[in-house]
A and B are shown apart, each in its own frame.
Chain A
Amino acid sequence: MTKRNSIGLVALAATCLLATATLADPGFAQDRPGPSGGDAAVADSGKEIFEQICQACHMADAKGGGDSGMRVPALADNPHLANKDYPIAILLKGRGGMPWFTDILTKPQIAAVITYVRGHFNTYKDPVTVADIDRVGSSKAPVPDCNCGH
């Protein structure tokens, strides 16, 4: 089953007090396609979410790409992912060129995709839960610097 994106947006924004502006509607008058396309449904399984969202930048093999100094970081074999709070914070708040994903993914979807990336492309098998996301989202810890050069 897929869920409407707006449900997750409201729920997450309410708990995390995150910016409510969306990528499709940033609150200022940027060129944009107009309504509709941003409403496409996202799957619920971690693997499918990775394929529908993450690999747009991090590539299908999760190895990232680009030249030195102009990198999309790898998610595969990435030791920063050993600490599950790191990817959670990045997905909640964005960092570097990567936007937050709270307006696209629900909390269960964020948990699922991080669990998939940590387990499938790395060796961290402990699952990420919605409770983990709530815990990180409610903390005041600063967003960690991105490992863009990884």
Chain B
Amino acid sequence: MTDHTSPEFLAPPTRRQLLTMIGKVGGATALYQAMTVLGHAAESQFSGPPKLSGAKPGASVLVLGAGLAGMLAAYELTKAGYKVQILEFQGRTGGRNYSVRGGDTITELGSTQEVQYAPGNYLNPGPWRIPYHHRTVLHYCQELGVELEHFAQLNHNAMVHRKDAYGGKPQRYRDLYVDYKGHVAELLGKALNAGALDTAVTTEDKAKLLEAMRSWGVLDKSMAYTKGVKVGEQRGWDRPPGGGVNGAPIPGDVGTLHDTLQSKVWDQIGFYTEHVMQTTMFQPKGGMDNIGKAFAAKVGNMIRLNTRVSKIAQDASGVTATWTDTKTGATGETKADWLVCTIPATVLGQMDIQVSDAKKAAIRALPYGNSVKIGLEMKRRFWETDYAIYGGHSFTDQPIGLISYPTGNWFGKGPAVLLGAYPFGVGAYILAGMTPEKRIAAALDQGSVFHPAEYKAEFLSGASVAWSRMPWILGCCATWTEESRAAHYQDLVSMEGRIVLAGEHCSYYGCWQEGALLSSLDAVTRLHQRASAA
């Protein structure tokens, strides 16, 4: 909005003035709702909590799964007046909202690990970063009192490694990025000056483009990308600026076009440009599972742990879940009027559930991707002290995919946990197929490319989670395609009789907590509508 030049009392308020007034009068919630109405802040479909109320007296809901989707459903349905019970297979709440700490046990198919981290250190095997526009997650963190801190995402001083670029020597992301735009700008400038684009751009735009390339690419007087002080101001220095007689900085050599192209740095640039990967990002202070714990503080008394559901039935009068207590072997049935099922499709597809063939087909046509995370505890923060890397990621084309430096407790003394691997796809299969001991050895070997002198010398202990081997989910998260969306998505999310499904797999925000929460809110809203009409 442009500022008004007329006196304020004569002119209608600008949008900013209006929002300021609303914020002062109505507080942050009113401000957010007004911003949404006015078209700002609408990057998520979240438009505030559902404000359900007026459940019929005695109406009950059974929720299967105490992950974020299940616990949010229980939380909102309880507020609406429903009597809610939750059955959870694991001995813990939270689902993929999960952090492991010293003393924890990680049980996979075929292996058990005892986590050795020092007190206060943790690994988030599942979700670990929250985009600024995932407003549902951020809302409930505020409502439930979960303290958030900044998550360092883009770090120009972290590195990029490819085996066939720069002789396998990692480069700073900053250097590659500056070289990339410098070379591209130089080439576009040459093409423009040679008249190669004269049919595509007007004379006026050609002049502007040349000016833009000179500025963007930091080109010299002859429109070449070369070593110099101006480039050094972006790329850093061989000798940085100082004081006194040797204060003058000395710029370093720029990379060649060929080396720059070999690095494929456009992959990283594109990654950081994705909406969900853009700064600012957040993380719960002390571990992602603080969100799950905050929900459990609200609905924990409704949860039955260690309960494996084997059958889900429904008829005109209600729903029945048949289960076995995995600790005692006792069996039982739990009945309710309505059911929200958040069991992952990998497991639900093997279960006896009384829904239509179309919904069963949808459940069974939803494969799950795999990923692995490995947390390496190091004796000290050598990436900070020795490399000036504070958070962010160093990428590699080895199976580990990346290493990521911890956010928080900057400059801290004592051990810290570094994320030593986070691949999907091939790298994840390769690491998941290893024993936990071999995964750690592989992560140390591969990560050493970035910090060869320190990586193994400073290593204390490691822990890993291979999602394909987690017995309660057998995968990381749902993998949709446009074709499978078209064929099955509506069948998956439809409410059938008394049963509705929820979870990240029932959203277009797959693999994100935002998707799990949005799906849950949509499910309970529809459930409440149907229950109210019944």
Interface residue B471 (Cβ < 8 Å from any Cβ of A): yes
User: Is B397 in contact with A56, judged by CB distance below 8 angstroms?
Assistant: no
From B313-321, B361-369, B455-463, B490-498, the one touching the partner chain is B361-369
A-side contacts of B279, CB under 8 Å: none
A-side contacts of B397, CB under 8 Å: 36-37, 39-40
Given A24-B424, A56-B370, A66-B474; A40-B479 close (CB under 8 Å)? no
Interface residue B469 (Cβ < 8 Å from any Cβ of A): yes
From A57-65, A74-82, A118-126, A130-138, the one touching the partner chain is A57-65
| Complex alpha-carbon distance, A28 and B417, angstroms | 30
| Complex alpha-carbon distance, A97 and B479, angstroms | 9
Shortest Cβ distance from residue A102 to the other chain B in the assembled complex, whole angstroms: 11
Number of interface residues of A (CB under 8 A): 52
Shortest Cβ distance from residue A51 to the other chain B in the assembled complex, whole angstroms: 6
User: Is B398 in contact with A28, judged by CB distance below 8 angstroms?
Assistant: no
Interface residue A5 (Cβ < 8 Å from any Cβ of B): yes
Most A CB within 10 A of own CB, among B364, B421, B512: B364
User: Is B474 in contact with A36, judged by CB distance below 8 angstroms?
Assistant: no
Shortest Cβ distance from residue A142 to the other chain B in the assembled complex, whole angstroms: 10
Shortest Cβ distance from residue B354 to the other chain A in the assembled complex, whole angstroms: 15
Could you give, for residues 416-457 of chain B, a 1 whenever the CB lies within 8 Å of some chain A CB and a 0 otherwise? Answer: 000001111111111111000000000000000000000000
Q: Among A32, A38, A69, A99, which residue has its beta carbon within 8 angstroms of that of B347?
A: A69
From B31-39, B187-195, B399-407, the one touching the partner chain is B399-407
| Complex alpha-carbon distance, A41 and B400, angstroms | 12
Shortest Cβ distance from residue A58 to the other chain B in the assembled complex, whole angstroms: 9
B-side contacts of A66, CB under 8 Å: 109, 471, 474
A-side contacts of B483, CB under 8 Å: 19
Interface residue B247 (Cβ < 8 Å from any Cβ of A): no
User: Is B427 in contact with A37, judged by CB distance below 8 angstroms?
Assistant: yes
Interface residue A112 (Cβ < 8 Å from any Cβ of B): no
A-side contacts of B481, CB under 8 Å: 19, 21, 26-27
**Which chain A residue lies CB-closest to B363?**
A96
Most B CB within 10 A of own CB, among A30, A36, A53, A56: A36
Shortest Cβ distance from residue B281 to the other chain A in the assembled complex, whole angstroms: 11
Interface residue B382 (Cβ < 8 Å from any Cβ of A): no
B-side contacts of A34, CB under 8 Å: 267-268, 271, 277, 393, 395, 401-402
Shortest Cβ distance from residue A53 to the other chain B in the assembled complex, whole angstroms: 5
Could you give, for residues 477-508 of chain B, a 1 whenever the CB lies within 8 Å of some chain A CB and a 0 otherwise? Answer: 10111111000000000000000000000001
Interface residue A141 (Cβ < 8 Å from any Cβ of B): no
| Complex alpha-carbon distance, A148 and B350, angstroms | 7
Q: Among A26, A41, A55, A70, which residue has its beta carbon within 8 angstroms of that of B510?
A: A26
Q: Among B271, B310, B432, which residue has its beta carbon within 8 angstroms of that of A56?
A: B432
User: Is B267 in contact with A99, judged by CB distance below 8 angstroms?
Assistant: no
Interface residue B74 (Cβ < 8 Å from any Cβ of A): no
User: Is A99 in contact with B479, judged by CB distance below 8 angstroms?
Assistant: yes
Q: Among A28, A53, A60, A96, which residue has its beta carbon within 8 angstroms of that of B429?
A: A53
Interface residue A47 (Cβ < 8 Å from any Cβ of B): no
A-side contacts of B300, CB under 8 Å: none
Interface residue B371 (Cβ < 8 Å from any Cβ of A): yes
Within 8 A of A (CB), among B381-404: 393, 395-402
Within 8 A of A (CB), among B315-337: none
Shortest Cβ distance from residue B466 to the other chain A in the assembled complex, whole angstroms: 7
User: Is B474 in contact with A97, judged by CB distance below 8 angstroms?
Assistant: yes
A-side contacts of B371, CB under 8 Å: 33
A-side contacts of B350, CB under 8 Å: 69-71, 96, 148-149
B-side contacts of A7, CB under 8 Å: none
| Complex alpha-carbon distance, A34 and B424, angstroms | 9
User: Is B369 in contact with A99, judged by CB distance below 8 angstroms?
Assistant: yes
A-side contacts of B83, CB under 8 Å: none
User: Is B425 in contact with A104, judged by CB distance below 8 angstroms?
Assistant: yes
A-side contacts of B276, CB under 8 Å: 29, 31
| Complex alpha-carbon distance, A42 and B429, angstroms | 10
B-side contacts of A38, CB under 8 Å: 401, 423-427
Within 8 A of A (CB), among B105-124: 109-110
| Complex alpha-carbon distance, A71 and B427, angstroms | 23
Shortest Cβ distance from residue A13 to the other chain B in the assembled complex, whole angstroms: 12
User: Is A36 in contact with B267, judged by CB distance below 8 angstroms?
Assistant: yes
Given A29-B276, A66-B109; A40-B367 close (CB under 8 Å)? no
**Which chain A residue lies CB-closest to B274?**
A29
Given A67-B308, A98-B367; A32-B424 close (CB under 8 Å)? yes
Interface residue B511 (Cβ < 8 Å from any Cβ of A): yes
User: Is B426 in contact with A27, judged by CB distance below 8 angstroms?
Assistant: no
**Which chain A residue lies CB-closest to B419?**
A33
**Which chain A residue lies CB-closest to B513?**
A31
Shortest Cβ distance from residue A117 to the other chain B in the assembled complex, whole angstroms: 14
Interface residue A22 (Cβ < 8 Å from any Cβ of B): yes
User: Is B129 in contact with A31, judged by CB distance below 8 angstroms?
Assistant: yes
Interface residue B60 (Cβ < 8 Å from any Cβ of A): no
**Which chain B residue lies CB-closest to A71?**
B350
A-side contacts of B433, CB under 8 Å: 51-56, 60
Interface residue B472 (Cβ < 8 Å from any Cβ of A): yes
Most A CB within 10 A of own CB, among B110, B274, B432: B110
Interface residue A146 (Cβ < 8 Å from any Cβ of B): yes
User: Is A40 in contact with B472, judged by CB distance below 8 angstroms?
Assistant: no
User: Is A36 in contact with B402, judged by CB distance below 8 angstroms?
Assistant: yes
Shortest Cβ distance from residue B176 to the other chain A in the assembled complex, whole angstroms: 12
**Which chain A residue lies CB-closest to B361?**
A145
Given A26-B481, A42-B426; A65-B402 close (CB under 8 Å)? no
Interface residue B283 (Cβ < 8 Å from any Cβ of A): no
**Which chain A residue lies CB-closest to B364?**
A96
B-side contacts of A31, CB under 8 Å: 127, 129, 276, 511-512
Listed by A's residue number, 14 A-B pairs whose Cβ atoms lie within 8 Å are A31-B511, A33-B424, A35-B271, A37-B396, A37-B427, A38-B426, A39-B397, A40-B430, A52-B426, A53-B429, A54-B433, A65-B109, A70-B472, A98-B367
Given contacts A37-B398, A72-B474, A99-B479, 9 further A-B contacts (CB under 8 A): A23-B479, A27-B482, A28-B508, A33-B371, A35-B395, A37-B425, A60-B110, A96-B367, A100-B367
User: 10 closest pairs, A vs B, by CB?
Assistant: A37-B401, A37-B423, A38-B425, A35-B267, A97-B346, A30-B511, A56-B432, A65-B109, A99-B367, A37-B427
